[in-house]
Structure 1
Amino acid sequence: MNSIKKVKSQQNLKLLKVKSISPIEGHSKKRVDWLLKKICDEGVWKVPVKVEKTKFLLMDGHHRFEVAKLLNLTFIPVELFDYSEVEVFSLRKNRKVNVDIIFKNHEEGIIYPYKTAKHNFKSSNKSFEGISLNELK
């Protein structure tokens, strides 16, 4: 079964199966709890996560990804990127971050600690209209 569905009338956005996405770094449980309440109160998913398009590595949106898992969502709105379109660097002086290391870590099942890898996106879809949580189940 295909892991990707198109989002109606919203260019460059897809619905990706949550279970097909691999995080590259950790997260803050406190932030996840706060975001879970916010998203549940709104009943709408307003911000897509950013995912690498070949291996479905989670580039940005680790807290939202954790919320999707807690809500047992089947799909999550995503923007797909190639690493050639994205600048990546480390937020920590003692940790090296680059595309090769990210892919190697993925192959070895290693994720960076929370707040290590930073991605700068040259282009991003700012026109996401949001999608009901019921549509993501």
Structure 2
Amino acid sequence: MVPIALLKPHEEIDEEHLHELEKRIVSDGVLRYPIIVDLKTLTILNGHHRVEILKQMGKKYVPAILVDYDSDCVKVYSWREGWNVTKELVREAALSGRKLPPRTSRHILCFEVPRVDIPLDSL
């Protein structure tokens, strides 16, 4: 578990996606998957919308997998045509507070993210 207050987002939130995901999470009563976070900078790599939902619910912690972002195990691509997204761009966006548009970066890991099904009440 990682304190939400320490996390650094690098992308803006898509409000429509946020509301749809919130309905599903509240209906399920659990958070199905952990977010993915850069170990060194606490940059959110995957899970911006889940973090925002938990924050709005007043939760203090989120299940997370911390990864070495410099490792070859983590690759970054773009969902957006014409964008060249690099690890440096992602970190700079997070650390500067100048976030990228929603759904810009696409992170691929060398392992499968396990399902955790953490009850919302425990967060």
Normalised by the size of structure 1, how large is the TM-score? 0.80
Offset from partner CA, 1:65-123 (integer Å, 9 cap, x none): 11111111110111111111200122334433111222222332111101211111111
**Structure 1 residue 16 displacement after superposition:** 0.5
2:63 is paired with a residue of what secondary structure?
strand
**Aligned length in residues:** 121
Instruction: Say which of 59, 65, 70 aligns to 2:56.
Output: 70
Offset from partner CA, 1:9-49 (integer Å, 9 cap, x none): xxxxxx11111111111221111111112111221111111
Q: Is 2:117 the counterpart of 1:122?
A: no
1:87 is paired with a residue of what secondary structure?
strand
Distance 1:17 1:93, change over 3 A: same
C-alpha contact 2:30 2:117 (8 A) present in aligned 1: yes
**Structure 1 residue 132 displacement after superposition:** 1.4
Instruction: Say which of 19, 25, 29 aligns to 2:11.
Output: 25
- CA distance in 2 between counterparts of 1:95 and 1:125 reads 26
Letter in 2 for 1:50: I
1:24 is paired with a residue of what secondary structure?
coil
Q: Is 2:18 the counterpart of 1:44?
A: no
RMSD of aligned alpha carbons: 1.5
Normalised by the size of structure 2, how large is the TM-score? 0.88
Instruction: Say which of 72, 96, 101 aligns to 2:84.
Output: 96
Q: Which has the higher contact order (CA 8 A, sep 6+)?
A: 2
Q: Which runs of 5+ in 2 are unaligned?
A: none
Q: Which runs of 5+ in 1 are unaligned?
A: 1-14
